[in-house]
Structure 1
Amino acid sequence: MHARAVAATTTAVLGTALLFPGGARAADDTGLPVVVAHRGASAYAPENTLAAVDRAAALGIRWVENDVQRTRDGALVVIHDDSLQRTTDAEQVFPDRAPWKVKDFTAAEIARLDAGSWFGPAYAGARVPTLQQYLRRVEHNHQKLLLEIKNPELYPGIEQQTLKLLGNEGWLDSRHLASRLIVQSFSAGSVRTVHQLKPGVRTGFLGTPATADLSRYAAFTDSINPSHGSLSGGWVSAVHSLSGPHGRPLRVFAWTVDDAARARTVAGYGVDGVITNKPDVVRKALGGS
């Protein structure tokens, strides 16, 4: 905990010089880990919808996380599962289209689906947003984005397509690249491809590589983002000891932490960010306002 106290003091002294991503930590000016709203504030609104983004904004949460996949006709949409079944009414609207894979439906077909009623009647009629719609809402809310390329093996070329859309929407300018965008994936190959195509983009690898393997990831990723249950202070220190492709220490964003006690434990390991469905709970647990 001494190291965290030092980090907090240093941040207070230097101010914006240590705002993410310039310093060794991803902490904001409080010196605390960044709180990231997982799929938006998904404990309070249907995941990956614009309502969840807005709920995070209403809670004062600056970072949101989302998942990107591709439709049959090549549109990028924001949804977690590779099937539409769990979070939409696809089974009722298209009863003969099992197993309702995202890649088997057109963007127009997906736009017809209700992506909110499963969560609660207040959200009936919510839609699966396109990535363009999602980016525009995050921009409107002055938020920052941790964007996950989901199941890239199903969608050849999705990295280049995602980057093109990000560029078209103004998300690859110097301001966004410096402090408002990270692209991550569970696929090391996908993260490497993003880095090769657009070296200025901050990247994250989702997983917990063995300590001996960490240096291989440092060639193409800026953060290594593990499940919270796999963490230890020693592992986090090992990650921080390495520099990523932009010459700064690798960072650690832990997922998915929803209770106060676990949030404090994870923060004690020295993580740079905490990804959570309940960002207000985690922020309060870590001493944020």
Structure 2
Amino acid sequence: MRRMKKTVLGMGLALAMLVVPFQQVLAEETTGEIRQVDNVAHRGASGYAPENTIAAFDKAVEMKADYIEIDVQRSKDGQLVVIHDTTVDRTTNGTGSVKDLTFEQIRSLDAGSWMGEEFAGEEIPTFAEVLERYHGKIGILIELKAPQLYPGIEETVAMMLKERNLDKPQNEKIIIQSFNFESMEKINSLLPYVPIGVLTSSSADTTDQALKEFASYAEYFNPSYRIVTEELVDKVHSLDMGISSWTVRSQETADFLLDMNVDAIITDYPDYVDPRN
């Protein structure tokens, strides 16, 4: 029998509304629409600060996003670091594969100047630093990036969450996702109380059979907005999964996903999802 460790994304907002004063709710309704959707800052508020840096994560907190989304990989000497690409070339002043560089080499890189002089000196954070700085302050959506390159990374992530008592997160403020479905099945067995998300941009993963298989171990189905339809959202919800869609980089796309009734929107620009920020 499948564990029920999921509540639908967005319920946190609904519950919060039950305990805030009526006057506050009324005031919010007069200044902006209340939207039942979680606002996930993609690699931080990466439209405004260099992706996957403390500057971007701090900006997401400032903009009152519900979650930051981070990408986790591993250095040559075993440190878990937060970076999207499997090489450092695009977002730093260095070159080479993450897996072939030591932590000291990775840490010495400038991960901010490419976006502007004001971000010069931004470092590639460690996974531990992000957990310690942001847990309890904002939700963390953890993507295991190319875990097939890093055998055993699932066990390391599980250990680090358990050490911080984050293996039984309150209000689903820790979620783990990946494009690698086998990795997510493994995480589900290691962290039975942490919600799991599967990422895809392929319509082949939206069949009834595929969705039922995902629902056997995952709480969220997280597709590219390009394959989102009302029918898909309804099918995902009928299987008691939430749906979080990515990556929003325009107001038009944000509005489309709001109309589709998704549970969370993963965006470089948190203000496109909630203009009150």
Query: 2:237 matched to which residue of 1?
Result: 240
Aligned sequence identity (%): 38
Q: Is residue 194 from structure 1 mapped to residue 191 from structure 2 by the alignment?
A: no
Q: Tell me, what secondary structure is at the counterpart of 1:118?
A: helix
Aligned equivalents of 2:177, 2:273: Cα separation in 1:
22
Letter aligned with residue 28 of structure 1 = L
Q: Is residue 61 from structure 1 mapped to residue 57 from structure 2 by the alignment?
A: no
Query: 2:102 matched to which residue of 1?
Result: 106
- 1:177 Cα shift? 4.5
Query: 1:161 matched to which residue of 2?
Result: 156
Aligned 8 A contact 2:8 2:242 in 1: no
Q: Is residue 150 from structure 1 mapped to residue 154 from structure 2 by the alignment?
A: no
Aligned equivalents of 1:224, 1:164: Cα separation in 2:
25
Letter aligned with residue 39 of structure 2 = V
Aligned-pair Cα RMSD in Å = 1.7
Of stretches 26-35 and 78-87 in structure 1, the one that deviates more from structure 2 is 26-35
Aligned equivalents of 1:101, 1:134: Cα separation in 2:
22
Q: Give the TM-score taking structure 2 as reference length.
A: 0.86
Q: Tell me, what secondary structure is at the counterpart of 1:195?
A: helix
- 1:27 Cα shift? 6.3
Q: Is residue 88 from structure 1 mapped to residue 92 from structure 2 by the alignment?
A: yes
Aligned 8 A contact 2:12 2:171 in 1: no
Query: 2:249 matched to which residue of 1?
Result: 258
Aligned 8 A contact 2:177 2:197 in 1: yes
- 1:78 Cα shift? 0.1
Aligned equivalents of 1:258, 1:192: Cα separation in 2:
30
Query: 1:211 matched to which residue of 2?
Result: 207
Q: Is residue 182 from structure 1 mapped to residue 175 from structure 2 by the alignment?
A: yes
Aligned 8 A contact 1:25 1:272 in 2: yes
Aligned equivalents of 1:199, 1:139: Cα separation in 2:
19
Deviation string, structure 1 residues 41-74 (Cα, Å, up to 9, x no partner): 0011100001111011111112110000000011
Which ranges of structure 1 fall in alignment gaps of 5 or more residues?
1-19, 92-99, 243-248
Q: Is residue 220 from structure 1 mapped to residue 233 from structure 2 by the alignment?
A: no
- 1:23 Cα shift? 4.4
Letter aligned with residue 129 of structure 1 = P
Query: 1:16 matched to which residue of 2?
Result: none
Aligned 8 A contact 1:147 1:182 in 2: yes
Aligned equivalents of 2:243, 2:218: Cα separation in 1:
11
Query: 1:94 matched to which residue of 2?
Result: none
Query: 1:34 matched to which residue of 2?
Result: 38
Q: Is residue 281 from structure 1 mapped to residue 272 from structure 2 by the alignment?
A: yes
Aligned 8 A contact 2:6 2:219 in 1: no
Query: 1:75 matched to which residue of 2?
Result: 79
Q: Is residue 267 from structure 1 mapped to residue 261 from structure 2 by the alignment?
A: no
Of stretches 228-237 and 254-263 in structure 1, the one that deviates more from structure 2 is 254-263
Deviation string, structure 1 residues 172-199 (Cα, Å, up to 9, x no partner): 2x4x254211000001101100001111
Aligned equivalents of 2:161, 2:237: Cα separation in 1:
28
Query: 2:228 matched to which residue of 1?
Result: 231
Q: Tell me, what secondary structure is at the counterpart of 2:69?
A: strand
Aligned equivalents of 1:162, 1:168: Cα separation in 2:
10
- 1:210 Cα shift? 2.4
Query: 2:7 matched to which residue of 1?
Result: 22
Aligned 8 A contact 2:69 2:141 in 1: yes
Aligned equivalents of 1:25, 1:278: Cα separation in 2:
18
Aligned equivalents of 1:63, 1:234: Cα separation in 2:
26
- 1:251 Cα shift? 0.4
Query: 1:45 matched to which residue of 2?
Result: 49
Cα pair distance change 1:196/1:152, threshold 3 Å:
same
Of stretches 221-230 and 160-169 in structure 1, the one that deviates more from structure 2 is 160-169
Aligned equivalents of 2:179, 2:164: Cα separation in 1:
25
Q: Give the TM-score taking structure 1 as reference length.
A: 0.82
Report how many residues are paired: 250
Aligned equivalents of 1:89, 1:170: Cα separation in 2:
36
Of stretches 215-224 and 20-29 in structure 1, the one that deviates more from structure 2 is 20-29
Cα pair distance change 1:31/1:192, threshold 3 Å:
same
